[in-house]
Amino acid sequence: QVQLVESGGGLVQAGGSLRLSCAASGTTFGISVMGWYRQAPGKQRELVATITSGGSTNYADSVKGRFTISRDKAKNTVYLQMNSLKPEDTAVFYCYARRGYDMWGQGTQVTVSS
């Protein structure tokens, strides 16, 4: 069993920055991918960024050049540095991990005011 706990969400003005963290605990051996998805009100959950155990990254086109995902394998933690935030980035951000099956955190709210 793996638990994912997010932190770092909040309210920020457009153009500002936030850093999200997600710590995995429990049976973390074998986690192949970690990342972030988000869900805005009335919209489907969508990919933001993922990183593999080998360090390969994947980003949604809408965040390329603004967001950076990184991973501290020793701490079983994944980070999402978000810069140049826009009001359309407002959403609940969910931590994601894959260990043969998909796992999700409880979500953290990110609100970007104009």
Mean of pLDDT over the chain: 96
Q: What is the pLDDT of residues 41-59, one digit of tens each?
A: 999 999 999 999 999 999 9
How far is it, in rounded angstroms, from Cα 89 to Cα 85?
7
φ, ψ of residue 61 in degrees (nearest 5): -60, -35
pLDDT in tens, 66-92: 999 999 989 999 999 999 999 999 999
d(CA 42, CA 112): 17
Q: The tokens of 91 are what? A: 């959403």
